[in-house]
Amino acid sequence: MAAPSSVGDVTTPPPDALVLRGVVKDFEEVRAVDGLDLVVPAGICMGLLGPNGAGKSTTMRMLTGQAIPTAGSLEVLGFEVPRHSKQARARMGVVPQRENLDDDLTVRQNVELWATLLRVPRRSRDAAVDRALAAAQLTERAGSRAVTLSGGMKRRLLIARALVHDPQLVLLDEPTVGLDPQVRGDIWTLIDRLRSEGVTILMSTHYIEEAERLCDDVAVVSHGRVIARGTPSALVAEHAGVEALEVYGPPDRLEQVEELVAAHGFRTRRTGPSVSVLRAEALPAALLDTLPDGVRRPANLEDVFVLLTGERLED
């Protein structure tokens, strides 16, 4: 990625990687994206955090020119999309949510095919494929047919394929969905390496821990629009505070806790058989004395999401 340019003592930052203004996408009677505004600076990992059906994948498809917006404007690396989708796609790598590898080809052949389609120069193609396979830790499996790979290896192969042309921007649509925790950790390591190398990443996810660990900035998406944005820690501090107090018990007991703390201006969220009182660090001693015993824990990004949307994220 190009570094910021400077003239004299004035440093010019790189242009924004993505600019979405008032983007709307309708499918017959369903509005999947509803006036989405989002600006992603170059060189960061930006997370779109939301449940299934929030409009994340539809947004990704519009950025790649696979879906046409009903209204609004999109710019990718300075190119208007969909008008200049071809130029934008040549500079971005895309990792789809659904695996679309050629199972009859080997690992290396899958990446070579993509390198050809993306017009990587013939003289540097072999080296580009080698680098992509090494980045995804697939060098030793280069000769294996794709059909023989595990789910985690297939996901890594999708990422290698997306990196073969040295993109400035990588779109990751639910990159670890359906993977076990250990494999998910391997994918996280690869994504973190890309971020450290200055590649701009837009990642959609519904995994709280994924957003907290990888993203420099997070946009919480609900019903096709951004309802909150900031660093994970800033979002937690702004909306949920430092601590939460979890109180367990039957429904009538939890309702009593909710009513009692609400009368003092504290917000809560239900977590299965418990209710979490947010900003518990600010609970006055007199109020604490009236509450049942509970467990204190750090406030987290899931508290923020549930508080803002009323929806619970599920793995």
Confidence of residue 12 (pLDDT cuts 50, 70, 90): low
Quote the CA–CA distance of 33 and 264 in Å, as a whole number: 37
So what's the pLDDT on residue 177? 84
Q: How far is CA 117 from CA 78, 89, 112, 120, 211, in A?
A: 22, 11, 9, 8, 32
Beta bridge partners of 95: 172
Q: What is the structure's pLDDT at 11? A: 52
The fraction of the chain above a pLDDT of 70, given in percent, is 94
Q: Report pLDDT for 182.
A: 85
| pLDDT score recorded for residue 81 | 95
DSSP for residue 282: G
Of 16 and 97, which is predicted with more confidence?
16
Q: What is the mean pLDDT of residues 196-224?
A: 92
In one letter, which amino acid is 297?
Answer: R
Query: Residue 77: which pLDDT band, with cuts at 50, 70 and 90?
Result: very high
Residue 5 has pLDDT above 80, yes or no: no
- The predicted model gives 180-205 an average pLDDT of 91
Asked whether residue 6 carries a pLDDT value surpassing 50, the answer given is no
Give the domain ranges of the chain.
Answer: 1-91+169-240, 100-167, 241-299
Whether the bond between 82 and the residue before it is cis, its omega within 30 degrees of 0, is yes
Please tell me the least confidently modeled range out of 8-17, 100-109, 147-156, 300-309: 8-17
What pLDDT does 310 receive? 75
Q: Provide the 3-class DSSP secondary structure of residue 47.
A: strand
CA-CA distance, 146 to 143, in Å (whole number)?
9
pLDDT confidence tier of residue 289, bands split at 50, 70 and 90:
very high
What's the confidence (pLDDT) of residue 179?
86
* Mean pLDDT value across residues 236-258: 95
Structure tokens at 315: 């793995």
The pLDDT value recorded for residue 13 is: 55
pLDDT at 36 over 60: yes
Count the Cβ atoms, other than its own, within 10 Å of residue 250: 8
Residue 12 burial (10 A CB sphere; 0-12, 13-18, 19+) = exposed
Question: Which amino acid is present at 314?
Answer: E
* pLDDT confidence tier of residue 1, bands split at 50, 70 and 90: very low
pLDDT of residue 113: 96
Determine the pLDDT at residue 4: 46
- Report DSSP state, residue 2: P
Do domains 1-91+169-240 and 241-299 share one topology? The answer is: no
Q: What is the DSSP letter of 15?
A: P
CA distance linking residue 136 with residue 142, whole number of Å:
11
Between CA 91 and CA 27 the distance in angstroms is: 28
What local confidence, expressed as pLDDT, does residue 99 receive? Answer: 87
Output the pLDDT for position 3: 43
Query: Does the global pTM surpass 0.85?
Result: yes
Tell me the fold of 1-91+169-240. Answer: Rossmann fold (3.40.50)
Q: Are strands 5-7 and 10-12 parallel, antiparallel or unpaired?
A: antiparallel
Cα–Cα distance, 299 to 237 (Å, whole number):
8
Q: Domain 241-299: give its CATH code.
A: 3.30.70
More confident residue, 298 or 183: 298
